[in-house]
Structure 1
Amino acid sequence: MHLFAKSDPIIAALIDTFALPTLLDSPTQVGPLAFIDNFIFSSARTDFLKGLAKCVSGLAALGRSKISIPVQFHEAFSSSPHCFSLCLSAGSKSKPGVAFFGSKGPYIFLPGSIDLSKSLLYTPLLLNPVVALNQALLAIDGENGSGGTKISTVVPYIKLETSIYEAFIGAFLKEASSAFHLYCYDKAF
């Protein structure tokens, strides 16, 4: 285990071994632990959590950087797909969300053996894409793609323009409700 010195904005980085359960022949049978040596963990300043939901206790790097969780998993298990899936929580510590790394499924949940992978949509990670839109609704600089809106799982409620946010929530509720018989609880995303 190695500990690196404090720097801004990272408070500390820790290199250690990360252990993950594996699956046997059946997606419901847990196998032995798989180990990732030299996994990089870090902590950031607590003010990074300001403005987020009250139940948020930390952040996870999910981008393309060398220290992001999907990249570290893929480098450790090169035969696994370079992907991850998120099932977002309603913001409750008693009913947390879940993340899957290095697999396109199946993602079996018990009881009932529900395979969430059949209901997920694929969205590639894009680097600053430039998209032609109605300029009256959303201005994006055609040279570098800046401006407009940013869809983020960290702070979605302040990064989306109102009409885009409402359209996103409407589409999400329609799809999620039909797939899982969910109900709306005042759209508190």
Structure 2
Amino acid sequence: MMACIQFVLLFLCSFIFIFKFNPSYAQISNLPVKSLVLLPVTKDPATFQYLTTIYHGTPQEPVKLVLDLGCPSLWVDCSSGHVSSSRRPIPSCSIQCSTANPSNMSCAFSAARPTCDLSAENSITGSATRGELVEDILTIRSVDGSKSGPATTVDHFLLSCAPKFLLNRLAKGAQGMLGLGKTRIALPSQLASKFGFQRKFATCLSSSSDGVVLFGNEAGYDSIFGTEISRSLVYTPLVTNPDGSGSSQEYSINVKSIKINGKRLPLSQEGIGEGTKISTTVPYTTLESSIYSTFIKAYTEAATNMTIVAPVSPFGLCFSSKENGSTLLGPMVPTVDLVLQSEMVKWRVHGRNAMVPVSDEVMCLGFLDGGVNSKTSIIIGGFQLEDNLLEFNLGTSMLGFSSSLLNRQTSCSMMLQSILKDSL
């Protein structure tokens, strides 16, 4: 009898949750067709982490978060002293809990643990712990066409409260991490449900304070980036790592081969980068040790007119920058191509995203040795993502990428500074 009652209650909760959160049933909040929801992004100079600020709770409080592509949810340290009157714990016996944690398919232990548990992870340290799922009000800014729009509010936003120790090694002032993963409670899915958006988002990171993450539909992208850029992205499938390594919430692509100045590296196997991960929490691209060794040798051979100098940690190959010429695409150095599903589809890395200036006279190749036992053979790091427009489409499981916007005589900062100058 008790089991039957629990089943009925869960069914009723499911109906209410579907009506509230599913755009097919819920009343969609109205935004103009060209509107986007926007998160300004800055780069922390000490940790090289990418930071954004949201406003949540009642009263509203700004919360600085580290951006993490692969994190499945938004988690914060709720012990900071701010008390939100709109924060509500999520019961363990609820459809919200089952949606956030698919393994929670039973109410059998709801009496012993009445609130919903949700794993929270710091991807910088690799630490994970149990958090508590709550709902609260989230406020972020919007963009109407090519200008700043009003602040917009998301009611009943699901996030996780995590203990303070999980903040270890996050940038100064950060109170948690903002996940852009593939789950139904990650920010892209919750915004899509709230506003009737397509389940996709775009990133345009910068080494300055003018990076951005955008959520919305195609018309909105056109109004900010222009159709010449937004309609000319190259697309490649998003995949799951074939060896099962990594999280299913992470964004990965297949790299079939690597070329330096158009010459293919003599690597021993095809698909050397199957499950190549794209990361905003890894500062520079890492290559598994055997790939890295071949890569460094080939790059050294291609850099015939460059002077090698002593390496500067953590980099393994550095050059003198005193006599090196420069273009709109950065230093004049060998180009790196990550060849994807065919020879015609490649992610090209020019000097700006290849060379890291470490002093006025030295620059280093921004590709690092990922180790012998690396779970992922290639991780494309944040430095290589900067001034590249990336579109993550969860609905089609495709990644759209522009390669360097500098090639079009523009940048993330140049395109976005006019709409980011107004405060929330």
Normalised to the residue count of structure 1, the TM-score between the two structures is 0.59
| Mapping of residues 12-23 of structure 1, within 5 Å | 12-22=132-142
Say which of 232, 235, 238 aligns to 1:126.
238
| Mapping of residues 2-41 of structure 1, within 5 Å | 2-3=88-89, 8=119, 9-22=129-142, 26-28=145-147, 30-31=149-150, 33-41=151-159
- The total of aligned residue pairs comes to 164
CA gap 1:103/1:172 in 2 versus in 1, 3 angstroms? farther
Partner of 2:225: 116
Say which of 55, 70, 86 aligns to 2:188.
70
Cα offset, 1:171, TM superposition: 8.0
Q: Secondary structure of the equivalent of 1:106?
A: helix
The 2-side partners of 1:179 and 1:56 are apart by 35
Say which of 380, 388, 406 aligns to 1:177.
406
CA gap 1:7/1:23 in 2 versus in 1, 3 angstroms? closer
Say which of 141, 153, 161 aligns to 2:280.
153
Contact kept, 8 Å, 1:151 with 1:160, in 2: the verdict is no
- Larger gyration radius, structure 1 or structure 2: 2
Cα offset, 1:71, TM superposition: 0.6
Say which of 77, 99, 102 aligns to 2:216.
102
The 2-side partners of 1:44 and 1:122 are apart by 38
Cα offset, 1:139, TM superposition: 5.9
Contact kept, 8 Å, 1:89 with 1:97, in 2: the verdict is yes
Contact kept, 8 Å, 1:84 with 1:104, in 2: the verdict is no
Cα offset, 1:56, TM superposition: 8.9
Contact kept, 8 Å, 1:84 with 1:100, in 2: the verdict is yes
Cα offset, 1:11, TM superposition: 3.7
Q: Secondary structure of the equivalent of 1:60?
A: strand
Cα offset, 1:39, TM superposition: 0.7
The 1-side partners of 2:350 and 2:410 are apart by 15
The 2-side partners of 1:158 and 1:29 are apart by 34
Q: Secondary structure of the equivalent of 2:280?
A: coil
CA gap 1:49/1:39 in 2 versus in 1, 3 angstroms? same
The 2-side partners of 1:136 and 1:48 are apart by 41
RMSD over aligned CA atoms reads 4.2
Q: How many percent of aligned residue pairs carry the same amino acid? A: 23
Q: Which runs of 5 or more residues in structure 1 are unaligned? A: 109-113, 183-189
Q: Which runs of 5 or more residues in structure 2 are unaligned? A: 1-86, 91-114, 120-128, 243-253, 258-266, 297-334, 338-347, 354-402, 412-424
The 2-side partners of 1:56 and 1:123 are apart by 36
The 2-side partners of 1:16 and 1:171 are apart by 44
